[in-house]
A and B are shown apart, each in its own frame.
Chain A
Amino acid sequence: MMNASPSTSSVLLPQAPRLLTGKGWAAVLAAAITVALLVPLLNLVVPAGHALHLSDYAVGLIGKIMCYAICALAMDLIWGYTGILSLGHGLFFALGGYAMGMYLMRQIGRDGNYQSELPDFMVFLDWKALPWHWSFSDSFAFQMLMVLAVPGLLAFVFGFFAFRSRIKGVYFSIITQALTFAAMLLFFRNETGFGGNNGFTDFKRILGVPLAQPSTRMVLFVVTGLTLIGFFLLGRLIVTSKFGRVLQAIRDAESRVMFTGYDPLAFKLAIWVLSALMCGVAGALYVPQVGIINPGEMSAAASIEIAIWTAVGGRATLIGPIVGAFFVNGAKSWFTQAFPEFWLYFLGALFIAVTLWLPNGLVGLFTRPGGIVGLFRKSKT
């Protein structure tokens, strides 16, 4: 583009899309400052009882929702942009969480109920030694590698065969749903060696530092926030590249993509594995903040919820799924306190409303000229 001799016609042509606009960069910077400076300040420095104090509960809640937002972002890349609806992303999230959980279980050391080197649930099952797949679980570096390797490898193998067999649309969704359900049944069994239906809990410390300490929780919060921002920028990099446009082309007309000479398998597999890796990282950040991981995360509902956040916020926008995750989960935590029995009705009504009136999600209200906000703006001027 730089070295083009601007012919008369190419002047009319659109510019290559930018990573972010000036306003976009300002917003990203503001988000980074909020996460890395403002929240720690309001939570740790401003004394409790002060009007500006941010409670530990709020920090924990926001941290948890940011993990969900990473999942929604991952879902947007594979569903919003590539048109492949996965109903099994909860599995990748849980696998990342379990990999982190194994390390946290080993960090408990002899402080558990049975004062044994082995995790409590193994003592309870009367196991004498660690099973083989726990061999390196005391190494933080190794388990962090597993956070990426296990969801990544599973996604690669599953995706390779599914995409090579050209399984598409609702069939693919059903298979991913079946996969996560099968994994849930596997993890429910005590013999699998992951604590059965109780999963892992009662974590004491991470890297030798107590988890209950406010500063530890704040570090986890900041890391989660910066990871979310980092993944958002990575997502932007992808969707503004030609690679991202090929993904959208696959969504709109896959046969055309094929007959143009692209191999859709490579593109789908790449974005599918990346999406799974993002969920794995989200799971690993989630577990130490929430303090528990169990097979419930692999339930069908957990995976479907990720799709709901994405749809509510607005597909194929990247920012939408983050907004959606915050909106739905924020509403959930408020509703379940104020009107506990009505939460599920509200969630159902929300999904119907979005499907009927907001095909572009909440973000569509602001960006699309046909959106409600756009209409108000027009009528004013």
Chain B
Amino acid sequence: MTPELMEQGTRARLDHEALLAARQPGGSGGRTASFGRLLTEGRPDFGTGVALYLDDITVSFDGFKALNQLSLAINVGELRCIIGPNGAGKTTMMDVITGKTRPDEGTASFGQNIDLLRLRENEIAQIGIGRKFQKPTVYEQLTVFENLELALAADRRARASLFFRLSGAQLDRIAEVLQLIHLLPEAKAQAGLLSHGQKQWLEIGMLLMQDPKLLLLDEPVAGMTDEETERTAELFLSLEGQHSLVVVEHDMKFVDQLTQGRKKVTVLHEGSVLAEGLLAEVQANEKVVEVYLGR
């Protein structure tokens, strides 16, 4: 063995190690991602880049198929708009994801390791899926501040909440969200006294307090003024990237604002995906036009 050969071998080994080190932060489309990461029980693993995965979900109510072999994948950090005529199964889909409705068939997973169909509503919320209802749902008798305080990510158990005290950092976080949803002056007001649009904002603020990884938003701008709608779009766009968002909406102008002409839109019809693509593409799609105009 000559010194040259030994030197060559060492260099090759170092090069290979450097290559491995460079690959380590998951830069290779997830192929190396399955090595060297710790899976924590109860924590979603987003190594493959998919946040939510629905496969072949079927839900029937007395023979009526609300969802019919629906398959859908939402990526980490993606903002996906879902449109579709009334009764297309949009709300049922959210019910399945959040544990309110159990599907007859199919699988639903969060990350690649969490089976959503085995968890209850509150457990699903705790692992990081937040949901906004179609009708704004806030605690009417409590103040705006208290509404946010309850949504704050903290120990959810009964005993812990008996002795809970807000820390300075948590108080600042509430103030931050209040500012974000433009409700700081109303912090001490009863939530029931807010306008419809403000209640929508409060509920969105409550979702943000939970710090969810995936937000499901059912018609978030219903009943908002044009200006409020625009501000909501800005807010959602600022969340894109840090959170995955699924927005169900009828308002095409709002969808256009959100997708900015480059993001995918999914069209649901009779419980399954009818079309997927850019907003302009799906609007030009004959099947979609037929469904919407009833031809």
B150 at the binding interface (Cβ < 8 Å): yes
B163 at the binding interface (Cβ < 8 Å): yes
Cα(A261)–Cα(B98), bound, Å:
11
A142 shortest CB reach to chain B, Å: 28
A246 at the binding interface (Cβ < 8 Å): yes
Question: Are B142 and A245 in contact, CB atoms less than 8 angstroms apart?
Answer: yes
Among A1, A241, A252, A270, point to the contact of B168 (Cβ < 8 A).
Answer: A1
Cα(A166)–Cα(B236), bound, Å:
34
A294 shortest CB reach to chain B, Å: 37
B199 shortest CB reach to chain A, Å: 11
Question: Are A241 and B161 in contact, CB atoms less than 8 angstroms apart?
Answer: yes
B133 at the binding interface (Cβ < 8 Å): yes
A51 at the binding interface (Cβ < 8 Å): no
**A243-271 with Cβ < 8 A to chain B:** 243, 245-246, 248-249, 251-253, 255-264, 266-267, 270
B38 at the binding interface (Cβ < 8 Å): no
**Residue interface bits B131-164, CB-to-A below 8 A is 1, else 0:** 1010001111111011001110000111001111
Chain B interfacial residues counted at CB < 8 A: 47
Chain A interfacial residues counted at CB < 8 A: 36
Question: Are A12 and B184 in contact, CB atoms less than 8 angstroms apart?
Answer: yes
A169 shortest CB reach to chain B, Å: 17
Query: Contacts A1-B171, A3-B168 hold; do A243 and B139 have CB atoms under 8 A apart?
Result: no
Cα(A270)–Cα(B165), bound, Å:
20
Among A10, A255, A263, point to the contact of B156 (Cβ < 8 A).
Answer: A263
Number of cross-chain contacts by CB at 8 Å: 119
Question: Are B168 and A4 in contact, CB atoms less than 8 angstroms apart?
Answer: yes
Question: Are A1 and B165 in contact, CB atoms less than 8 angstroms apart?
Answer: yes
Question: Are B151 and A260 in contact, CB atoms less than 8 angstroms apart?
Answer: yes
DSSP class of A's interface residues: helix, strand, loop or mixed?
Answer: helix
Query: Contacts A7-B172, A258-B121, A270-B158 hold; do A14 and B145 have CB atoms under 8 A apart?
Result: yes
Residue ranges of A at the interface with B (Cβ–Cβ < 8 Å)? 1, 3-5, 7, 9-10, 12-14, 16, 238, 241-243, 245-246, 248-249, 251-253, 255-264, 266-267, 270, 316
A-B contact pairs, 26 of them (CB 8 A): A1-B165, A3-B167, A4-B171, A7-B175, A9-B178, A9-B179, A9-B184, A13-B171, A13-B175, A13-B178, A16-B165, A241-B162, A242-B161, A242-B162, A242-B164, A245-B149, A251-B141, A252-B141, A253-B137, A256-B133, A258-B122, A260-B125, A260-B206, A261-B123, A262-B156, A270-B158
Q: A9-B184, A260-B125 are in contact. List 15 more A-B contacts (CB 8 A).
A: A5-B168, A9-B178, A9-B179, A13-B175, A14-B145, A241-B164, A245-B142, A252-B142, A253-B140, A256-B133, A259-B98, A260-B122, A260-B210, A261-B122, A316-B141
